[in-house]
Structure 1
C-alpha cells in the first residue's frame, strides 16, 4: 500500500470511511466552483469518482491520494496524479491535482501534499514531466503551481464546458524538492 507522510499529512489510498467526508467536500459550491462545470457532487457521484480513482491506481500505478491530517486523522481532501483524459491533446501527459475542503484552505496543506506528490512522481514512478491544469481565474491553485516551480505553458479551452484552462508544467529532472 502506497503511503507518504509529510510533517502534517498522510497521503494514502482510499478507504470506505473516506466516502462520506469526501462527499461533503464535493457538496460545497465554493470547493466545486473551479471544477468541471462547477456543479456539486452528491454521495453517489462521489462514490463513482472514488471508484474511477482506484481504477486509475490499478491501471496506471498512480492516482489521487486521500489527504489525511496527521494529528486528527480527518480527511482534508485529495492530491495526486492522473491522466487528463478530458483533454484529448493531453491524454499522454500526467497531471497533478488537488481538492481540499474549504476549512483546510489557506494553511499550506495543498502545497505540502503537492510537493510530496511531485517527489513521488519523480522518485517512485520515474516520471520526467508533470503538468497541472487550472481554470483561468483560480488564483489559489495557480499559487500552488508557482510554489511547485511550475510554469505556464499555454491556454486551452475546456472541450465540454467552453471555459479557459491554463496548462502549467514542470520538468522533474530539474525539480528541487
Structure 2
C-alpha cells in the first residue's frame, strides 16, 4: 500500500497498535457528534471499523489511511477515500473523508491530510471526480471542504437518520486549475 508524506504528516497503513488510540478518538463525543448517529464507539466497534477500512484497500485499491504526526509518530486519526454505499443516490462515487482527534483540531492537519488524499485519488488512482459528504451545521468540515476547492453539488438527507447533508464535488480539471 502507498504511504504519503506531507510536511507534517505520514498517511500510512494501519498497525495493530493503532487500535487503542483510534478507539480513544472514537470515544470522544466531540469527534463523533457529526458522524452517523452521533454515538461514541468502543474498542470492539473501532476494531471492526479498521478491519473494514483495510478490506476496502484490498477491494478498491484505495481506502482510509492512518494519519500520524511525523514529529512524534503519534496517531491523530484517519484521512483518505471510501465508497459511500450508505448514500445510494450519489453512487457510483468515491468520497474523501477524515476523522481527527479533537486535541489536534485547529492546526490544519485535516486540511493537509485530505489534500494529500485528494491528490492521491485524482493523480495516483486516476479518479476523475471525488466527492465529500458532511452534515449540515458541521462548519469545521465545511471549511476543510472549501479549502480543497470542492463545490456544493446538492443537499440531501441521511437515509437512516434523516438529518440534512451537503454533498460537495471536484473533478480533476478543477483540482489541477
Length-normalised TM-score, structure 1: 0.98
- Distance in 2, Cα, partners of 1:176 & 1:71: 30
Q: Which residue of 2 aligns with 1:168?
A: 168
Q: Which residue of 1 aligns with 2:99?
A: 99
- Distance in 2, Cα, partners of 1:18 & 1:2: 17
Q: Deviations over 1:56-109 (max 9, x none)?
A: 000000000000000000000000000001111123100000000001100000
Equivalent residues in 2 for 1:62-141, closer than 5 Å = 62-141=62-141
- Cα distance, 1:176 vs structure 2: 3.2
- Distance in 2, Cα, partners of 1:156 & 1:16: 37
SS in 2 for 1:93: coil
- Cα distance, 1:174 vs structure 2: 2.3
SS in 1 for 2:152: strand
SS in 1 for 2:176: coil
Q: Which residue of 2 aligns with 1:154?
A: 154
Give the gaps of 5 or more residues in structure 2: none
Q: Deviations over 1:126-175 (max 9, x none)?
A: 00100000000000000000000001011111010110000000112221
Instruction: Indicate the RMSD between aligned Cα atoms, in angstroms.
Output: 0.9
Where do 4+ consecutive residues of structure 1 move more than 2 Å? none
Q: Deviations over 1:115-135 (max 9, x none)?
A: 111110011100010000000
- Distance in 1, Cα, partners of 2:34 & 2:118: 22
Q: Which residue of 2 aligns with 1:33?
A: 33
Length-normalised TM-score, structure 2: 0.98
